[in-house]
Amino acid sequence: MKTSLSFLLLALSILPLGARAVEAPTADEVVTASDAVRNPSEPFERKLTLVEYIDGTAHSQTVLRVYSKVDPATGQYRNLVRYEEPPRDVEKTVLMNGTVMWFYDPAARSSVRISPQQRLLGQAAQGDVVTVNLAHDYRAKLVGPAGGETLNDADQHARSCWHVELVPSNDSAIYGRIDYWVEQGSFHPVKSKFYSDSGRLLKIAYYHKYGESLGAQRPTEIILIDAVNSKLVTTMNTSDDKARAIPDSWYQRDYLPRVGQ
Protein backbone atom coordinates (compact mmCIF):
# COMPACT_ATOMS: atom_id res chain seq x y z
CA MET A 1 0.00 0.00 0.00
CA LYS A 2 2.84 2.39 0.79
CA THR A 3 4.30 1.74 -2.69
CA SER A 4 0.96 2.24 -4.44
CA LEU A 5 0.28 5.43 -2.49
CA SER A 6 3.75 6.78 -3.35
CA PHE A 7 3.16 6.00 -7.03
CA LEU A 8 -0.22 7.74 -7.00
CA LEU A 9 1.16 10.82 -5.25
CA LEU A 10 4.08 10.95 -7.70
CA ALA A 11 1.85 10.52 -10.73
CA LEU A 12 -0.39 13.34 -9.60
CA SER A 13 2.45 15.65 -8.58
CA ILE A 14 4.55 15.46 -11.77
CA LEU A 15 1.78 16.78 -14.00
CA PRO A 16 2.59 20.20 -15.49
CA LEU A 17 0.91 23.05 -13.63
CA GLY A 18 -1.46 23.73 -16.48
CA ALA A 19 -2.45 20.08 -16.75
CA ARG A 20 -3.05 19.84 -13.02
CA ALA A 21 -5.42 22.78 -13.16
CA VAL A 22 -7.49 20.95 -15.79
CA GLU A 23 -7.02 17.33 -14.77
CA ALA A 24 -7.95 17.10 -11.11
CA PRO A 25 -7.82 13.64 -9.55
CA THR A 26 -11.07 11.74 -9.60
CA ALA A 27 -13.12 11.49 -6.43
CA ASP A 28 -12.24 7.79 -6.18
CA GLU A 29 -8.52 8.60 -6.43
CA VAL A 30 -8.82 11.18 -3.65
CA VAL A 31 -10.62 8.81 -1.30
CA THR A 32 -8.35 5.85 -2.04
CA ALA A 33 -5.23 7.94 -1.44
CA SER A 34 -6.64 9.37 1.79
CA ASP A 35 -7.52 5.85 2.97
CA ALA A 36 -3.86 4.91 2.50
CA VAL A 37 -2.86 7.93 4.60
CA ARG A 38 -5.20 7.01 7.45
CA ASN A 39 -4.68 3.26 7.43
CA PRO A 40 -1.60 1.02 7.27
CA SER A 41 -2.01 -1.78 4.73
CA GLU A 42 -0.41 -4.48 6.88
CA PRO A 43 -2.15 -6.01 9.92
CA PHE A 44 -1.52 -3.75 12.90
CA GLU A 45 -2.50 -2.88 16.44
CA ARG A 46 -2.80 0.54 18.02
CA LYS A 47 -3.71 2.15 21.29
CA LEU A 48 -6.66 4.51 21.10
CA THR A 49 -7.36 6.99 23.91
CA LEU A 50 -10.72 8.74 23.94
CA VAL A 51 -11.37 11.76 26.15
CA GLU A 52 -14.74 13.46 26.48
CA TYR A 53 -14.73 17.23 27.11
CA ILE A 54 -17.64 19.38 28.23
CA ASP A 55 -17.04 23.11 27.89
CA GLY A 56 -13.28 22.50 27.80
CA THR A 57 -13.12 20.27 30.89
CA ALA A 58 -12.23 16.58 30.61
CA HIS A 59 -15.01 14.43 32.08
CA SER A 60 -14.28 10.83 31.16
CA GLN A 61 -11.72 8.68 29.38
CA THR A 62 -11.68 5.30 27.68
CA VAL A 63 -8.57 3.47 26.45
CA LEU A 64 -8.85 0.81 23.77
CA ARG A 65 -6.52 -1.55 21.95
CA VAL A 66 -7.52 -2.00 18.30
CA TYR A 67 -6.38 -4.91 16.11
CA SER A 68 -7.06 -4.37 12.39
CA LYS A 69 -6.49 -6.59 9.38
CA VAL A 70 -7.73 -6.38 5.79
CA ASP A 71 -10.05 -9.14 4.65
CA PRO A 72 -8.58 -10.21 1.28
CA ALA A 73 -12.01 -11.30 0.10
CA THR A 74 -13.60 -7.86 0.49
CA GLY A 75 -10.78 -5.31 0.79
CA GLN A 76 -12.34 -4.00 3.99
CA TYR A 77 -10.78 -4.14 7.45
CA ARG A 78 -11.76 -6.59 10.14
CA ASN A 79 -11.45 -5.12 13.61
CA LEU A 80 -11.14 -6.40 17.14
CA VAL A 81 -11.33 -3.78 19.89
CA ARG A 82 -10.39 -4.54 23.51
CA TYR A 83 -11.07 -2.23 26.43
CA GLU A 84 -8.07 -1.38 28.66
CA GLU A 85 -9.57 1.47 30.71
CA PRO A 86 -11.59 2.23 32.80
CA PRO A 87 -11.08 -0.77 35.12
CA ARG A 88 -14.77 -1.71 35.07
CA ASP A 89 -14.56 -2.29 31.31
CA VAL A 90 -11.26 -4.19 31.09
CA GLU A 91 -11.44 -7.17 28.70
CA LYS A 92 -14.74 -6.15 27.18
CA THR A 93 -14.39 -6.68 23.45
CA VAL A 94 -15.97 -5.45 20.23
CA LEU A 95 -15.70 -7.38 16.97
CA MET A 96 -16.52 -5.94 13.57
CA ASN A 97 -16.30 -8.27 10.60
CA GLY A 98 -18.13 -7.19 7.48
CA THR A 99 -21.48 -5.59 8.25
CA VAL A 100 -21.85 -7.14 11.71
CA MET A 101 -20.59 -5.77 15.04
CA TRP A 102 -20.58 -7.82 18.25
CA PHE A 103 -20.00 -6.71 21.85
CA TYR A 104 -18.62 -9.29 24.30
CA ASP A 105 -18.84 -8.83 28.08
CA PRO A 106 -16.71 -11.34 30.03
CA ALA A 107 -18.85 -10.80 33.14
CA ALA A 108 -21.93 -12.01 31.28
CA ARG A 109 -19.95 -14.51 29.19
CA SER A 110 -22.03 -13.64 26.18
CA SER A 111 -21.85 -11.55 23.01
CA VAL A 112 -24.65 -9.39 21.66
CA ARG A 113 -25.03 -7.67 18.33
CA ILE A 114 -24.73 -3.88 18.44
CA SER A 115 -24.98 -1.04 15.96
CA PRO A 116 -21.86 0.80 14.77
CA GLN A 117 -23.84 4.00 15.44
CA GLN A 118 -24.16 3.12 19.13
CA ARG A 119 -22.53 5.70 21.40
CA LEU A 120 -19.21 4.69 22.93
CA LEU A 121 -18.03 7.87 24.66
CA GLY A 122 -19.09 11.45 24.09
CA GLN A 123 -19.37 12.12 20.37
CA ALA A 124 -17.59 8.87 19.45
CA ALA A 125 -19.67 5.95 18.23
CA GLN A 126 -18.56 2.32 18.18
CA GLY A 127 -18.01 2.60 14.43
CA ASP A 128 -15.68 5.58 14.82
CA VAL A 129 -12.96 3.59 16.58
CA VAL A 130 -12.60 0.82 14.00
CA THR A 131 -10.40 1.00 10.91
CA VAL A 132 -12.35 1.36 7.66
CA ASN A 133 -11.59 1.96 4.01
CA LEU A 134 -14.06 4.65 2.97
CA ALA A 135 -13.53 3.79 -0.70
CA HIS A 136 -15.02 0.35 -0.03
CA ASP A 137 -18.25 1.49 1.63
CA TYR A 138 -19.09 4.77 -0.10
CA ARG A 139 -19.58 6.21 -3.58
CA ALA A 140 -17.61 9.42 -3.99
CA LYS A 141 -18.02 12.54 -6.08
CA LEU A 142 -16.13 15.82 -6.10
CA VAL A 143 -18.27 18.83 -5.18
CA GLY A 144 -17.62 22.55 -4.89
CA PRO A 145 -15.32 24.65 -7.13
CA ALA A 146 -13.42 22.77 -9.84
CA GLY A 147 -10.07 23.83 -8.39
CA GLY A 148 -10.96 22.77 -4.86
CA GLU A 149 -11.76 24.70 -1.70
CA THR A 150 -9.72 26.49 0.94
CA LEU A 151 -10.68 25.87 4.56
CA ASN A 152 -9.03 26.07 7.96
CA ASP A 153 -7.74 22.99 9.72
CA ALA A 154 -7.94 22.39 13.48
CA ASP A 155 -5.07 24.84 14.05
CA GLN A 156 -6.75 27.51 11.90
CA HIS A 157 -4.22 27.09 9.11
CA ALA A 158 -5.62 27.47 5.59
CA ARG A 159 -5.53 24.27 3.52
CA SER A 160 -6.30 23.80 -0.17
CA CYS A 161 -8.59 20.79 -0.29
CA TRP A 162 -10.65 18.58 -2.50
CA HIS A 163 -14.23 18.43 -1.24
CA VAL A 164 -15.69 14.95 -1.65
CA GLU A 165 -19.25 13.87 -0.95
CA LEU A 166 -19.59 10.26 0.18
CA VAL A 167 -22.86 8.30 0.09
CA PRO A 168 -23.26 4.62 1.05
CA SER A 169 -22.57 2.00 -1.58
CA ASN A 170 -23.40 -1.00 0.62
CA ASP A 171 -24.81 -1.99 4.01
CA SER A 172 -21.40 -1.69 5.70
CA ALA A 173 -21.51 2.12 5.56
CA ILE A 174 -21.91 3.60 9.03
CA TYR A 175 -23.21 7.05 8.05
CA GLY A 176 -25.93 8.27 5.70
CA ARG A 177 -23.58 10.81 4.12
CA ILE A 178 -20.14 12.29 4.71
CA ASP A 179 -18.71 15.60 3.54
CA TYR A 180 -14.97 15.02 3.37
CA TRP A 181 -12.16 17.52 2.79
CA VAL A 182 -8.77 16.13 1.73
CA GLU A 183 -5.67 18.29 1.30
CA GLN A 184 -4.48 18.66 -2.27
CA GLY A 185 -1.06 17.14 -2.95
CA SER A 186 -0.60 15.27 0.32
CA PHE A 187 -4.08 13.68 0.37
CA HIS A 188 -4.15 14.22 4.13
CA PRO A 189 -7.71 14.19 5.50
CA VAL A 190 -8.47 17.60 7.03
CA LYS A 191 -12.14 17.67 8.00
CA SER A 192 -15.35 15.62 7.81
CA LYS A 193 -19.02 16.18 8.48
CA PHE A 194 -21.08 13.10 9.34
CA TYR A 195 -24.82 12.84 8.66
CA SER A 196 -27.53 10.41 9.72
CA ASP A 197 -29.62 8.42 7.25
CA SER A 198 -32.27 11.14 7.52
CA GLY A 199 -29.75 13.83 6.57
CA ARG A 200 -29.25 15.32 10.04
CA LEU A 201 -25.74 16.60 10.75
CA LEU A 202 -24.38 14.59 13.69
CA LYS A 203 -20.82 15.75 14.22
CA ILE A 204 -17.81 17.43 12.71
CA ALA A 205 -14.34 15.85 12.73
CA TYR A 206 -10.88 17.38 12.32
CA TYR A 207 -7.84 15.21 11.53
CA HIS A 208 -4.97 16.58 13.58
CA LYS A 209 -1.39 16.11 14.77
CA TYR A 210 0.11 14.28 11.80
CA GLY A 211 3.10 12.14 12.69
CA GLU A 212 5.17 9.21 11.41
CA SER A 213 3.47 5.85 11.86
CA LEU A 214 4.22 2.60 10.07
CA GLY A 215 5.90 4.22 7.11
CA ALA A 216 3.70 7.26 6.49
CA GLN A 217 2.52 10.55 7.96
CA ARG A 218 -0.85 9.80 9.56
CA PRO A 219 -3.25 11.75 11.80
CA THR A 220 -2.64 10.83 15.44
CA GLU A 221 -5.64 12.76 16.74
CA ILE A 222 -9.22 13.11 15.59
CA ILE A 223 -11.32 15.85 17.17
CA LEU A 224 -15.07 15.18 17.18
CA ILE A 225 -17.38 18.16 17.76
CA ASP A 226 -21.10 17.82 18.42
CA ALA A 227 -23.13 19.38 15.61
CA VAL A 228 -25.66 20.99 17.97
CA ASN A 229 -23.49 22.00 20.94
CA SER A 230 -19.89 22.86 20.05
CA LYS A 231 -18.96 22.71 23.76
CA LEU A 232 -19.28 18.92 23.56
CA VAL A 233 -15.99 17.60 22.16
CA THR A 234 -14.35 14.17 22.12
CA THR A 235 -10.74 13.54 21.12
CA MET A 236 -9.41 10.23 19.83
CA ASN A 237 -5.62 9.90 20.06
CA THR A 238 -3.69 7.03 18.53
CA SER A 239 -0.34 5.76 19.83
CA ASP A 240 1.83 2.67 19.97
CA ASP A 241 1.07 1.66 16.37
CA LYS A 242 2.86 -1.53 15.44
CA ALA A 243 2.67 -4.12 12.68
CA ARG A 244 1.91 -7.58 13.98
CA ALA A 245 0.57 -10.94 12.92
CA ILE A 246 -3.08 -11.30 13.90
CA PRO A 247 -4.73 -14.74 13.79
CA ASP A 248 -7.83 -14.94 11.61
CA SER A 249 -9.53 -16.75 14.48
CA TRP A 250 -9.65 -13.48 16.42
CA TYR A 251 -12.29 -12.24 14.00
CA GLN A 252 -14.77 -15.02 14.75
CA ARG A 253 -17.58 -14.43 17.22
CA ASP A 254 -17.16 -17.85 18.85
CA TYR A 255 -13.52 -17.08 19.65
CA LEU A 256 -14.22 -13.86 21.58
CA PRO A 257 -14.08 -15.49 25.05
CA ARG A 258 -10.56 -16.77 24.30
CA VAL A 259 -9.01 -13.69 22.68
CA GLY A 260 -5.86 -12.64 24.53
CA GLN A 261 -5.58 -15.83 26.54
Q: Which segment of 136-140, 162-166, 168-172, 237-241 scores lowest on mean pLDDT?
A: 168-172
| 121: amino acid identity, one letter | L
Q: Counting every residue, how long is the chain? A: 261
Q: What is the number of other CB atoms lying within 10 angstroms of the CB of residue 97?
A: 18
∠ at Cα 94 (261, 59), nearest 5°?
110
CATH architecture classification, 25-256: Clam (2.50)
Reported as a single tens digit per residue, the pLDDT across 123-154 is 999 999 999 999 999 999 999 998 999 999 99
How is the chain split into domains, by residue range? Answer: 25-256
Reported as a single tens digit per residue, the pLDDT across 193-219 is 999 999 999 999 999 999 999 999 999
For residue 260, the model assigns a pLDDT of 62
What mean pLDDT do residues 39-67 have? 97
Tell me the DSSP string of 18-35: HHHHH-PPPHHHHHHHHH
